[in-house]
Amino acid sequence: MVNVLIVYTTSLGNTQRMAEAVTNGARPVDGTEVVLKTAHEATIDDVCACDGLIIGSPMRHRTADSRIKKFIEDVLEQLWLTDETVGKVGGVFTVGGGYGDCGAGCELAQLGLLSAMAAGGMILVTLPKTTPGFEAAGMHWGAHGRSGGKAMEPVGITEDMTQAGWHHGANIARVTTAIAGKELLARGNVAPSPARSILTPRFARLRSSLY
């Protein structure tokens, strides 16, 4: 079994609804166990245990929610130091209701999330335009549910939008099952050097166990 971890936060319930659609898409994939957690629940151990990670966030002024950023800083950045996310699969989704067809700034937010995954050596799964539901919630980088109307009135996300989320989750789960456990990426460089580390005891402990 491979483990797909979905981490999200929500304020009005729309991102939770999309997260559940992503979960429902990933769960039926053979050999996949899916864990859905909010950003404040997800831990370093959760990410270490997963083979694939999906992050979902509401839009906040053209960027991700602060609770998701805290997860990235407290969890992903720590694991970047110890290279424990190298070779894991990653993907993202967002929900927002700002001006613009997709909600203002969602592309910037998704790219920011993906850049954190890329820094950790993760293998990224984006959202091709062949995906069912793409016309309602398609971005090149991941599914985006637009929860506001043209005048920013709250309308919530639609079934067509959650369809894109469902298939995005399924896509990521299939890629995860196909490559989990395979050492596809080269290793050898060790940076930062353990000898120069002034970081946490956990960092030193992990480094000593890895190298």
| Secondary structure of the chain in HEC code, one letter for each residue | CEEEEEEECCCCCHHHHHHHHHHHHHCCCCCEEEEEEECCCCCHHHHHHCCEEEEEEEEECCEECHHHHHHHHHHHHHHHHHCCCCCCEEEEEEEECCCCCCCCCHHHHHHHHHHHHHHCCCEECCCCCCCCCHHHHCCCCCEEEECECCCCCECCCCHHHHHHHHHHHHHHHHHHHHHCCCCCCCCCCCCCCHHHCCCCHHHHHHHHHHC
Structure token pair of residue 155: 């309308």
Residue 157 has pLDDT above 60, yes or no: yes
Percent of the chain with pLDDT over 90: 64
When pLDDT is averaged across residues 11-35 and rounded to a whole number, the result is 96
Q: For residue 124, what pLDDT is reported?
A: 98
pLDDT per residue as tens digits for the range 100-155 = 666 667 888 999 999 999 999 999 999 999 999 998 888 889 999 887 777 777 77
Q: What is the pTM of this model?
A: 0.89
When pLDDT is averaged across residues 18-30 and rounded to a whole number, the result is 97
Residue 196 has pLDDT above 60, yes or no: no
pLDDT, averaged across the chain: 88
In CATH, what number is assigned to the domain containing residue 47?
3.40.50.360
Specify the number of domains making up the chain: 1
Q: Give the domain extent around 17.
A: 2-210
